[in-house]
Amino acid sequence: MDVFIVHRWNGTPESDWYQWLKRELEKKGFAVFIPEMPETDKPSINKWVGKISDVASGSDKPYFVGHSIGCQAILRYIESSGKKASGVLLIAPWLHLKDAAFETDSDRKVAEEWISTPIDLDKVKASIGECRVVMSTRDPYVPVEDSKIFHDGLNAEINIMPISKHFTGEEGYSELHVALNEFMKMVPGAAGAGR
């Protein structure tokens, strides 16, 4: 079974905990791909959704793991393609951002496209087997209140971490065990599946 991990804004396939999660899932028999997203310093919806389409469109009911803006890119890919996904794990997803997320006016301009372009969550929900979300009450960029949107719109299981932040390597996250645990809960027959 294929898994696609979509990195964050200003991230790379080598950033944060992505390679660790890739290795852990490969040990469990998954084929894991971490595409290098285009223009990661100024991500655009069309380019990021197009990249996911390029790498995932031939895969039958894959799993997706997204981090931050990568979560939105995954949801927008599923919305626009209508492709089925076995499960989607969203780490620090957002539809809104706190002011701290914008270091420059350019950042605000890049984010505006993602914030102002709606996602048909009902359409996405109809295409995914299961959705799980991991967020933090201490995330400096993402309002934890967005968790309600994902719960209500995607019927997502929500895991709120009280001491984590945005789950980046800069914060010390070279491994992210909660991601592995939440992912395996989506896999039929795996220990903890369906909980």
The pLDDT of residue 195 is above 60:
no
Burial class (CB in 10 A: 0-12, 13-18, 19+), 29: exposed
Kindly state whether residue 190 falls inside one of the protein's structural domains: no
Please write the tens of the pLDDT for every residue from 134-189.
Answer: 999 999 999 999 999 999 999 999 999 998 999 999 998 999 999 999 999 999 98
What share of the chain in percent tops pLDDT 90? 93
- What is the rounded average pLDDT of the residues 121-129? 98
Model pTM score: 0.95
Domain range for 143 is 2-184
Kindly state whether residue 169 falls inside one of the protein's structural domains: yes
- Rounded to an integer, what distance in angstroms lies between the CA atom of residue 49 and that of residue 162? 31
Specify the DSSP element, H or E, that contains 52. Answer: helix 45-56
Tell me which of 63-67, 96-100, 121-125, 191-195 is least confident.
Answer: 191-195
Kindly state whether residue 189 falls inside one of the protein's structural domains: no
Kindly state whether residue 111 falls inside one of the protein's structural domains: yes
What residue type is assigned to position 177 of the chain?
H
Kindly state whether residue 193 falls inside one of the protein's structural domains: no
Q: Using CA atoms in the order 75, 80, 83, 88, what is the torsion angle rounded to 10 degrees? A: 0
- What is the rounded average pLDDT of the residues 72-93? 98
Kindly state whether residue 149 falls inside one of the protein's structural domains: yes
Total domains present in the chain: 1
Average model confidence (pLDDT) for the chain? 96
Q: CATH number, domain at 156?
A: 3.40.50.1820
- Rounded to an integer, what distance in angstroms lies between the CA atom of residue 147 and that of residue 101? 18
| pLDDT band per the 50, 70, 90 thresholds, residue 191 | low
